[in-house]
Amino acid sequence: MRPWQRVVLMLVALAAPHLNGAPSSDFDRKAATLFTKNYSFHAWDETDHTVDGDDWSLPLWVQPARYSGIQISPKLVSAEFPGRIQRAVHASWRETEPAEGTFDFRSLRQEIIKESEGGNYAVKLGLGASVWETRYFQSLQDRTLIKTASGTAPLWLKHYGIPLMEEQPNKSIPFQVVNLDIFHPEYHRRYLKLIEAFGRSGIPQMKELDICYLHLVSASRGEEGAGPPVGDPRRPLYEERLRAWAEAFKGVTYKLCLVSGKEDNMKLGLKLGMGQRNGFVEHYMLHAPNPALGQELDSEGYLVVNEKCPLIAENRASGDENEEYTSSHEERFGPIATFPHRYREATLRMLQMRRNFVWAEGGPWLINSPLLHYLALELGKTAQDAPDAWCYLRESAVKGGPQGQPVKNFERWLYQRDADGARTEATEKVELPPHMFEFDRNRLYDLTARQTQMAKRQSLIRFGVDEAFLAGGPHAVAVKVTYIDRAHAEWQLESFAGTQMTAARQVTCGDSGAAKTITFILNDACFPGRGYTGLDLQIRALKGDAVIRFVRVIKLHPKPDQAAGQLQRSEKTIK
């Protein structure tokens, strides 16, 4: 048994009592061994060096994208947090139309301006409208009513005979949402008037407003959910809602976030100029693939990004939620011992999907603050202005995947592809709990690295850099390689200087079984490759097998436009 396996087994055993109903203080005791409340980040070091574990450092010139934001409590991070903190403004139909036909958006406008603080904070708006009330119970087993929270739908709607819909109670937190039937004609007609009045208010065009959720109806407290399927008699009403919202946000439809990732809904939403928001990125292999989100699989099972997808190409609002890491979430996602791995995978998946807005930790703990720091600097970047490109050499088997084919790699403008002499084997298994429903039931695990196969004369791992990130050369870059220190293996990084492939200094492993990250400073690197299979870098095993988890190529110096305009959102990308 390897050292990391012993640690996982120990933590799973530690987490087990909570599954039998231990109090939340027991969760905090375990969390204290896994997480932290002290914010920290990895400092930049522009020399050849090696560190234990991951290295999420970036050069000091890197700034967050102007059109990005992370919703997180400022108390959870320090003044050194580099990202644009996003603040949420919650409004409701009940508040903005207290009496039928009487609209008042003044307080909402004032709150948006207040929360923005002159553009220092990103602002997310939600205009809830479907909830009649939310009921809270003693427990999932005991449905004794503890309290009832007020809803978002106007009370005066009760005079129009609109049916109430008691949604399925939540499976982890004991509550039940009661919605109005939003497709009832009496509701729908008046809701369209609300949207029209909201558009006339000028709030959608406010420079202080970054994104707005286009809510529907759901059993969750976020008024999420998808539209009725094509052919459903309610479908025309759903599409009418979307068109009304697009008209209200005329000229700035990119701010709208459709809360559905389904193909038919996305097709119309993208056509209308909207962005999109998912939840549940904690289940990080969802939407692999989903062409509507620019997520596609090639013939060899690699997860590739369609950069021409309007969501990505036009820099529309693109969000996700990665906040469910509290004591109430073990029942949904599995024991606390699995949280750090799931957080890592979900964070990297959001960057692989090219997201620009994120709801981060919702509890009192920081799961991985150096990775959070890195995320804040990377959200909303394109290949042209990103400080780095990377490839996470991983593999997962997704339920319902094409002929059981695993999904390979998370990539962000750095691509690994097998070829003769460079056929890799996925390795470093991390077992997953059955709560991860998107996985193949017979392969409930992630493989978190790839290795050479010297015994089969496959001694190489090849990489290609996207030409939109860097092409030709020479360029001054740092290459960071995260590898597994095992079996006294020896390997080297090879890159181009001019037209010649040259070798950087060699790596001699020990046998700790731990992850390490080595940095190579290359002042004259050239990238002649083209496309996914083009060769720009390679790792050559010299003795034993090289086991590689993560590779980053980092620009040492910004382009002139990056240095001057990191915080400016390019309106040229908005159509």
- Domain with residue 152: its CATH number is 3.20.20
For 530, residues 6+ apart whose C-beta sits below 8 A from its C-beta are 464, 467
Residue 400: is it exposed, middle or buried by C-beta count within 10 angstroms (0-12/13-18/19+)? exposed
Tell whether 17 is covered by a domain: no
Stated pTM of the model = 0.91
- pLDDT at 19 (0 to 100): 34
- pLDDT at 572 (0 to 100): 30
The domain that holds 531 is classified in CATH as: 2.60.120
- pLDDT at 511 (0 to 100): 98
Mean pLDDT to the nearest integer, 373-380: 98
Mean pLDDT to the nearest integer, 104-133: 97
Q: Where does the pLDDT of residue 553 fall: very low under 50, low under 70, confident under 90, or very high at 90 and above?
A: very high
pLDDT tens string 214-245: 999 999 888 998 899 999 999 999 999 999 99
- pLDDT at 139 (0 to 100): 86
Mean pLDDT lowest among 26-30, 327-331, 566-570: 566-570
Residues 95 and 224 both lie in one domain = yes
Residues 490 and 371 both lie in one domain = no
Q: Are 102 and 140 in contact (CB under 8 A)?
A: no
Instruction: Provide the domain count of the chain.
Output: 2
Tell me the CA distances in angstroms from 3 to 6, 92, 561, one per residue in order: 5, 52, 47
Q: State the distance between the two ends of the chain, measured CA to CA, in whole angstroms.
A: 55
- Lookup: tokens for 282: 């904690």
Residues 379 and 478 both lie in one domain = no
Residues 312 and 448 both lie in one domain = no
Rama region for 219: left / alpha / beta (φ>0; ψ in -120 to 50; rest): alpha
Tell whether 403 is covered by a domain: no
Give me the phi and psi of 382, to 5 degrees please.
-110, 175
For 134, residues 6+ apart whose C-beta sits below 8 A from its C-beta are 148, 149, 151, 175, 176, 177, 178, 221
Q: Is residue 575 predicted with pLDDT exceeding 70?
A: no
pLDDT, greater one: 51 or 498: 51
Q: Is residue 342 predicted with pLDDT exceeding 80?
A: yes
Residues 80 and 219 both lie in one domain = yes
Give the helix/strand (H/E) hosting 519.
strand 515-527
Residues 378 and 510 both lie in one domain = no
| CA dist., res. 293 & res. 410, Å (int) | 15
Residues 380 and 469 both lie in one domain = no
- pLDDT at 279 (0 to 100): 87
Work out the mean pLDDT of the chain and round it to a whole number. Answer: 92
Tell whether 525 is covered by a domain: yes
Residue 318's nearest CA partner among 288, 294, 299, 334 is 294
Residues 478 and 377 both lie in one domain = no
- pLDDT at 498 (0 to 100): 87
Tell whether 409 is covered by a domain: no
Tell me the CA distances in angstroms from 16 to 3, 8, 30, 157, 332, one per residue in order: 20, 12, 10, 48, 14
Q: Where does the pLDDT of residue 371 fall: very low under 50, low under 70, confident under 90, or very high at 90 and above?
A: very high
Residue for token digits 């997520």? 295
- pLDDT at 10 (0 to 100): 35
pLDDT tens string 440-480: 999 999 999 999 999 999 999 999 999 999 999 999 999 99
Q: Is residue 401 predicted with pLDDT exceeding 80?
A: no
- pLDDT at 403 (0 to 100): 65
The Cα angle at residue 555 between residues 416 and 571, in degrees rounded to 5: 95
Tell whether 8 is covered by a domain: no
Three-class SS state of 357: strand
Residues 378 and 432 both lie in one domain = no
Residue 10 neighbours by CB distance under 10 Å: 12
Tell me the CA distances in angstroms from 319 to 65, 136, 307, 419, 564, one per residue in order: 14, 28, 16, 35, 26
* Percent above pLDDT 70 for the chain: 92
Tell whether 455 is covered by a domain: yes
pLDDT tens string 256-315: 999 999 999 999 999 999 999 998 999 999 999 999 999 999 999 999 999 999 999 999
Q: How many CA atoms lie less than 13 Å away from 393 in the CB half-sphere?
A: 28
Structural domain boundaries enclosing 527: 425-557
Residues 123 and 234 both lie in one domain = yes
| CA dist., res. 154 & res. 131, Å (int) | 9
Tell whether 417 is covered by a domain: no
> What single-letter amino acid sits at 167?
E
| CA dist., res. 235 & res. 281, Å (int) | 27
Q: Is residue 18 predicted with pLDDT exceeding 80?
A: no
Q: Is residue 368 predicted with pLDDT exceeding 90?
A: yes
Tell whether 319 is covered by a domain: yes
Residues 376 and 436 both lie in one domain = no
Give me the phi and psi of 83, to 5 degrees please.
-85, 170
Q: Is residue 537 predicted with pLDDT exceeding 90?
A: yes
pLDDT tens string 149-182: 999 999 999 999 999 999 999 877 889 999 999 9
The Cα angle at residue 431 between residues 429 and 432, in degrees rounded to 5: 135
Residues 505 and 455 both lie in one domain = yes
